[in-house]
Structure 1
């Protein structure tokens, strides 16, 4: 049988039911190449009399543009061209219809040709002159009906183009009335009406657009019987989409199965002519199908490799059968899942995300699935199941709800799916966790008693341990406070008593040295004593700083090191750059650690002055929890390859001092010149 009855029923459902929902589209005249003809507007004035209509000379190509009010959504479309003048040759000899989405339709705009998926005339013979239509004869009166598909939303205008008749000169044509109707798609097939191209020529009366015209009776194949995989069809889906499945249909005729085998499919995000490869590639029908001719071959993501998405679909065949592939229809279905689910427990609405929590004791549950926005208010089949529950997939009742009895306490998963217009269930599904709470009276009292006793015992033990720990900490705190007070007293006494005496001694030396009666040698000795006294005062200040517990913070250490470096280097005309954070964490640093760090730091400054010959020193301080890092970089001569003598002793002293308090000291020559000394002190 050439066209099985089942296929004809599918075609009737697609087109017949759509016709019942036809929506007239109001057209307004915009402009025409016959602008001087005031009768152009009569083509859409609703009057169908013999003396009314747009007069179109057929000696040269002519065009007329009409505006759609309001702009039209995507869908199936049907044009009716009424030629009612009764005059000889008053019908268009050859014509086509195009559409535009330009904001203001015009003759010079961007136009897309509408591929006629169906055409007829109540009188005369209307035939295809690809990509146009033409009347084979010249009826006096007739109405031509042309069906097509508009895959894009926002169609703002149509253009009627007329060419001279291929049968020779003809008189002026008169278009009495032009009508336009839109029908809903009625399908989730996103390939419907999309542009199709073929890599090579097709036989006469075959067209690549037949693959997406929604008609399973039309088909296409290469004109050359031996092209093999060099031939391909390519469909532009208009934009990149995530796909669920692709349905392919071959010719509904016995003996053509070989031309519908070894099919290869490729999906591209960009035009395949570019350097980008396919994002998904798969194959189907490795052998001739045993099913009835015309049965769809369904391709899903698992049938290939890659990401099942893209804008461009390319199809070719590696079959050895001649004229392969022979394809009647290609349907592409985007992945669709329910947008949400409404749950009721004992007729009470239950809310909550990301998991739905059902109260204890619920003996009846109802789930209402929410569909994603679909064109023309289209609704799809639905089903739902509770993973972990006793039932399988359940379809909604006539109220649109999926109902089930209550579930035992536990954790489940709501899974919901949508069914496409080709009756294939979408692979992806909506998944929402479902928790059924247990009633309190089902928990054994014994378990509760044991749990409470265990908690009480643990709390008592924790309280006892915590009490002893607090007492120990208080004792330690008291000892620490006593030690801190003693350190403060020693620091105060050293500063007030010893410091004052050393200062007095320094001043006395200065006064004696200033007397003119002293010999130069005596004055020189007194100045040396003065310098020694000053050094002793400075050393005493450092010792007081190290002992005083008020300075046991990172901030005080950083401030003191910056001050010490500046005081030491500035009188010697050595510039100092300092890099330190504005705020330091609260960490306590003991006196011994501060003392050893300060001595090693001053040793490093002394080495720079004595041996480096530098005029710039960079001091960098930072905290790498739990280590304080101090870096001294100079632009001097660097370390000698074989340091010996006092210089080597100084480096070893610094390492020894830092090691004594758990730290480290590393001295090395920098790649850009000079020396880096890095102290690392754990705190």
Structure 2
């Protein structure tokens, strides 16, 4: 028996000798303090005054700061189990945020206010393990205690969460443990306790549970995210390929435009100039001709045909020139074409064009087919109509280009609508996605209408 500043100790003399001889590193002891009935936990004593004394009846007397303390070893041998019995731990309650999942919460709980009892509504697994809802798994609270009737305040606790902790953690003070932001899965909370004599139990109290995954923590969400990433990558790759294809197409169009511009320039500067020069030479020869009148007339006719050929050459140059791929250029072209025909037939020319023409693009093929249809219409007016007035009308309405050639001439018979020229115009308009009509005018004459959808043309570009 030993007395000291922290109480009275009972320890085996054999264990003390073994500890002194170095045969062991620890000695088991039982400590008695004021909690076990001593008047004071501090026992006085030194070399001249012994800490304790054994009387003839076997009782032990110890001097404390507050008086004598008497211990009867015979009585202790009969009741020693009260001091060394293992204290079983108890998990009182488990809460998930504001939901009570298990047990009965103690008044000391920091999350006890406004809590809801969800014990009877909690779903369980096939092994009867409670499933904690995902919306209430941010903070888990475990309340615990131990059924000790001897110095219960000195009871010690250790805990661990299987799946999170690799070692036991000792907790002092408030008998509450919190875990926050656990990953979805299966967990087991374990708790062990020790008496004030430092005797630990080996059978922990446990509580197993399953944390339900939030929707962004489920496998299907990860699959969805992976599929989304793959889809985005594929879309980006597809967009990249389309962009490369578009860039290649733009490059090809630019190269084609350069080639068209070169051809148009060569035709204008070389062949067009040569034809114009040939026509002038024929005129000079006709004036200098001293022969018969028939020869002079033939030369003049050749000069006229040469000029007509030069005019057609200018039309081809206009069609090939990429700078003319717009409705504005097309309007200028048909204005010049109408003026040329009107002057040759001594007719009045009236233009009905919009004040502001939008800069809508027209492909070379579209301009070429439209120009041939208009030229054919003007030729019909010149050859058959015997008109005194020619009207060229250009309308842009509801994503449609409408070009009309109208005259105040003789009109036409119903049988004349089946001519090859009209059929050719209809086929030309069909080839570029448009339509053709030839109807009597409001005041005699004839009106030829060419309709071309502009929205489809914009999409095709």
Query: Which TM-score bucket, shorter chain as reference?
Result: 0.3 to 0.5
Normalized per residue, which structure has more strand?
1
Normalized per residue, which structure has more helix?
2
TM-score, scaled relative to structure 1? 0.33
TM-score, scaled relative to structure 2? 0.48
